[in-house]
Amino acid sequence: MIAAYLVLLLGQEALARGDLKQLAPYSHRMELVVRLGAENWLTEPALRELRRWPVPPTVELRPPVSAREAKQLRKLKRFRARLAYGSPRDRTLRRLSPALASVKAEPRTPLPIKDRPCPGTALMGRTGADEVLSAPEGIDRCVLGWLADRFGRHEVDQP
């Protein structure tokens, strides 16, 4: 059996509200990518939630990374970085060691939107290859239902 894999793109506001708790059953079936905003900075509630996530999260960074930002991001202990722009060889990324597991550059061309499974979301990419579910407003019943259908309801404890 081939396991379905998905990249879930969330904003840190959704993390701060505790939306990750609802996604725990799917943690090993998806890559969590956190979009930070204008600065490479996590709010304290979002940082706490990411530290509880069982799989190292991916954080979308915008080089250069200041020493202040790096100190705060290292509190995650272990994470991956995806660059919104710039080079994975940017010298300021060295400030994130030893917490930074890997760095990859985001594709320059945006992925095509193929579906909008729920209001405020977009499913992008190619089926089975690089599917990305963007849910910037967070996780609601619709998104949870869509994930349960995608990964199989029998694998998830329903409330």
Task: Quick: pLDDT tens for 125-142.
Answer: 876 667 899 998 899 999
Inform me whether the pLDDT recorded for 119 exceeds 90: yes
pTM here is 0.85
* Domain encompassing residue 32: 6-152
So what's the pLDDT on residue 106? 75
- Tell me, yes or no, whether 100 lies in a domain: yes
CA distances from 155 to 54, 59, 140, 144 (A): 17, 27, 19, 13
Q: Is 141 contained in some domain? A: yes
Q: Is residue 159 part of a domain?
A: no
The dihedral region occupied by 120, where left means phi > 0, alpha psi between -120 and 50, and beta the remainder, is: left
**pLDDT of 82 strictly over 50:** yes
Residue 50 placed within a domain: yes
Residue 112 pLDDT more than 60? yes
Task: Please list the alpha-helical segments (H only) found in 6-114.
Answer: 12-16, 20-23, 44-52, 67-73
Q: How many CB atoms lie within 10 A of CB 78?
A: 13
Region of 138 please: left (phi>0), alpha (psi -120 to 50) or beta. Answer: left
Distance between CA atoms of residues 10 and 19, nearest Å: 10
Total domains in the chain come to 1
Amino acid symbol at 143: V
Residue type, 41: W
Residue 157 lies in a domain: no
Kindly tell me if the per-residue pLDDT of 31 is higher than 70: yes
159 has pLDDT over 70: no
Residue 1 lies in a domain: no
